[in-house]
A = this chain, B = another copy of it.
Amino acid sequence: MKCLVLLSGGVDSVTALHWACREHEPLAALSFRYGSNHEERELACAEYQARVLGIPHRVIDLSSIALHLSSALLSGAAAIPSGDYEEENMRATVVPFRNGIFLSIAAGVAESCGAQGVVIAAHAGDHALYPDCREPFMQAMEQAMEQGSYAKIQLLRPFIGMSKVQIVKLGAELGVDFSQTYSCYCGGEKHCGRCSTCRERRAAFAAADVEDPTAYEKE
Which residues A95-113 have CB closer than 8 A to chain B?
A: 95-101, 103-105, 107-113
The quantity of this chain's copies bound in the complex is 2
* Size bracket of the A interface: 35 or more
A134 within 8 Å of B (CB atoms):
yes
Q: How far is the CB of A59 from chain B (nearest CB, A)?
A: 9
A207 within 8 Å of B (CB atoms):
no
Given A143-B143, A147-B140, A148-B141: A111 and B134 interface contact (C-beta under 8 Å): no
Contact yes or no, A60 B69, CB < 8 A: no
Which residue of chain B has the shortest Cβ distance to A107 in the bound complex?
Answer: B97
Q: How far is the CA of A131 from the CA of B101 in the complex (A)?
A: 18
Quick one: which of B70, B137, B150 contacts A131, CB cutoff 8 A? B150
A144 within 8 Å of B (CB atoms):
yes
A89 within 8 Å of B (CB atoms):
no
Given A60-B68, A64-B61: A147 and B143 interface contact (C-beta under 8 Å): no
Chain B residue contacts of A96, Cβ below 8 A: 107-112, 149
A sample of 17 inter-chain contacts (CB < 8 A) reads A58-B68, A60-B64, A62-B65, A68-B112, A69-B112, A70-B112, A94-B150, A95-B108, A96-B107, A96-B109, A97-B111, A98-B108, A100-B108, A137-B147, A140-B141, A140-B144, A144-B144
6 tightest A-B CB contacts, nearest first: A140-B143, A96-B111, A97-B108, A132-B148, A140-B144, A137-B148
List 13 extra interface pairs beyond A60-B64, A96-B108, CB under 8 A: A58-B68, A62-B65, A65-B108, A68-B113, A94-B150, A96-B112, A97-B145, A97-B149, A100-B107, A101-B105, A131-B148, A137-B148, A140-B143
